[in-house]
């Protein structure tokens, strides 16, 4: 009887069906775990941002210039505050640009950019810019630039952001090490 069932293909069809059911269950379970992990990660990001916002109040950089930062004496706290604000801008950008729901490019025509960016000029100023203006320029640059680290940015030369590589760049730039 088993020989007849084998010849008829009944057992083989049943084996294929069970295999498909097992694979489907596995991927269903896996997708639930992935969704659970992404929900936990989103919650952790929100919590860490809330804690960061509670602990730190941005300093007023509107009357401070780069000459007021290190190596100027007594400027450790101001330098720390400026760099912390810059790192917060960069980390916010990294988190936003890695979300699939965000835009790869917030496209605007050049004339719209010129109208929308207050104080934006292609001319070099005669006087130095304040640290506040430098931070505003950093935000605008990240806002209107192409998010090449976005999961939906495809290019033959770019493969997205490598966080470990970024950490290495920050390390070598901080240590002023030539590569």
33 pLDDT more than 60: no
Are 10 and 84 part of one and the same domain?
no
Are 51 and 69 part of one and the same domain?
no
**Which has the higher per-residue pLDDT, 89 or 29?**
89
Per-residue confidence (pLDDT) for residue 23, from 0 to 100? 46
Are 51 and 82 part of one and the same domain?
no
Instruction: Write the CATH number for 123.
Output: 3.90.1150.170
Domain that holds residue 134: 63-179
Helical spans, DSSP H, in 9-159: 10-55, 76-97, 110-116, 131-144
* Calpha distance 31→34 (Å, rounded): 5
Per-residue confidence (pLDDT) for residue 4, from 0 to 100? 57
* Calpha distance 22→109 (Å, rounded): 52
When pLDDT is averaged across residues 91-112 and rounded to a whole number, the result is: 90
Are 114 and 167 part of one and the same domain?
yes
Query: What pLDDT band is residue 101 in, cutting at 50, 70 and 90?
Result: very high
Q: Which of 10, 38, 55 is the last residue of a domain?
A: 55
Per-residue confidence (pLDDT) for residue 90, from 0 to 100? 96
Query: What pLDDT band is residue 160 in, cutting at 50, 70 and 90?
Result: confident
N- to C-terminal Cα distance for the chain?
A: 74
Are 149 and 114 part of one and the same domain?
yes
Query: What pLDDT band is residue 134 in, cutting at 50, 70 and 90?
Result: very high
Are 77 and 40 part of one and the same domain?
no
Are 103 and 137 part of one and the same domain?
yes
Are 15 and 95 part of one and the same domain?
no
Q: Given the structure tokens 């069906």, which residue do they identify? A: 17
Are 20 and 93 part of one and the same domain?
no
| Longest CA pairwise span in the chain (Å) | 96
Q: Which of 14, 35, 55 is the last residue of a domain?
A: 55
When pLDDT is averaged across residues 160-169 and rounded to a whole number, the result is: 91
**Element spanning 163, H or E:** helix 163-175
The number of folded domains in the chain is: 2
Are 7 and 75 part of one and the same domain?
no
Are 9 and 81 part of one and the same domain?
no
Per-residue confidence (pLDDT) for residue 25, from 0 to 100? 44
Q: Given the structure tokens 């210039």, which residue do they identify? A: 65
* Calpha distance 117→137 (Å, rounded): 10
Query: What pLDDT band is residue 2 in, cutting at 50, 70 and 90?
Result: low
Q: Which two tokens stand for residue 48?
A: 């860490």
**Which has the higher per-residue pLDDT, 99 or 53?**
99
Per-residue confidence (pLDDT) for residue 175, from 0 to 100? 93
Nearest to 90 by CA among 161, 179, 151: 161
């Amino acid at each position: 009887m088993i020989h007849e069932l084998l010849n008829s293909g009944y057992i083989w069809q049943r084996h294929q069906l069970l295999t498909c059911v097992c694979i489907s269950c596995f991927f269903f379970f896996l997708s639930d775990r992935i969704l659970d992990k992404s929900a936990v990660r989103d919650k952790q990001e929100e919590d860490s941002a809330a804690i960061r916002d509670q602990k730190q109040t941005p300093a007023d950089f509107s009357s401070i210039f780069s000459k007021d930062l290190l190596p100027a004496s007594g400027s450790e706290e101001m330098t720390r505050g400026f760099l912390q604000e810059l790192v917060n801008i960069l980390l916010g950008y990294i988190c936003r640009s890695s979300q699939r729901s965000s835009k790869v490019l917030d496209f605007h025509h050049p004339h719209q950019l010129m109208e929308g960016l207050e104080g934006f000029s292609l001319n070099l100023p005669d006087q130095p810019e304040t640290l506040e203006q430098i931070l505003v320029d950093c935000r605008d640059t990240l806002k209107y630039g192409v998010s090449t680290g976005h999961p939906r940015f495809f290019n033959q030369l770019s493969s997205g952001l490598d966080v470990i590589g970024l950490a290495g760049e920050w390390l070598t730039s901080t240590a002023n090490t030539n590569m």
